[in-house]
Amino acid sequence: MRYTQSQIRELLSISVDALRTWRDAIPALALHKGHAPSFTPGDVVAMAIVAELVRDFGVRVGTVGDRFDELFKECRGRSWLSLENCVALIDAERFRLVDVNLAGQRSPDASTLYIPCAPIIARLRSLLTAAEVDQVQGHLQFPPTSVAMQPERRGTRA
């Protein structure tokens, strides 16, 4: 499944201007132009991580856009199932996406932001399923009626 820019903005509660700024700063996002659904599930998770870092930690996308580019490259093409078991580690030098079990065994060499993907994916799933529940089919204006089958005509052409 692919997502549009408007779907991602709605899922992540980000403005049009914020997405435009991110697209200018992160080379991987510059590839997504127009309104066609071009974002993969991995892209959505990467953007959710970026949104969380911006909101919770005050990270400026323009200053670390190259590392966010690494994040998108790591997440692209991966399913939510595989990303659920990952942790995003971002330090002053680089970005890494590692298995959650391996992340706890390592001692970081420098100050590192540790962002587990599982809660982000759970939140995205919840938002997507809530959107599906809201779109309940309305009542039909006309009651269903049976339609008689017309006899087949052989040999006649219109």
Report pLDDT digits (tens) over 77-86: 888 999 999 9
Report if residue 88 sits inside a domain. yes
What's the pLDDT at 123? 93
Report if residue 150 sits inside a domain. no
Tally the C-alpha atoms within 13 A of residue 131's C-alpha that lie toward its C-beta: 10
What's the pLDDT at 158? 57
Contact between 62 and 54 under an 8 Å Cβ cutoff? The reply is: no
Phi first, then psi: give them for residue 14, nearest 5 degrees: -120, 155
Alpha helices (H) along 4-151? 5-12, 16-25, 27-30, 41-57, 65-75, 80-84, 100-105, 117-134
- pTM of the predicted model as reported, rounded to 2 decimal places: 0.76
Q: Is the pLDDT of residue 145 over 90?
A: no
Q: What is the DSSP letter of 3?
A: B
Domain ranges, residue 16: 5-128
Report if residue 11 sits inside a domain. yes
Report if residue 114 sits inside a domain. yes
Q: What span, in angstroms and rounded, lies between the C-alpha atoms of 121 and 89? A: 16
Residue 39 C-alpha from the chain's centroid: 7
Q: What is the mean pLDDT of the chain?
A: 83
Q: How many structural domains compose the chain? A: 1
Report if residue 140 sits inside a domain. no
R_g of the chain, CA atoms, integer Å: 23
Report if residue 157 sits inside a domain. no
What's the pLDDT at 33? 76
What's the pLDDT at 45? 93
More confident residue, 118 or 156: 118
Report if residue 71 sits inside a domain. yes
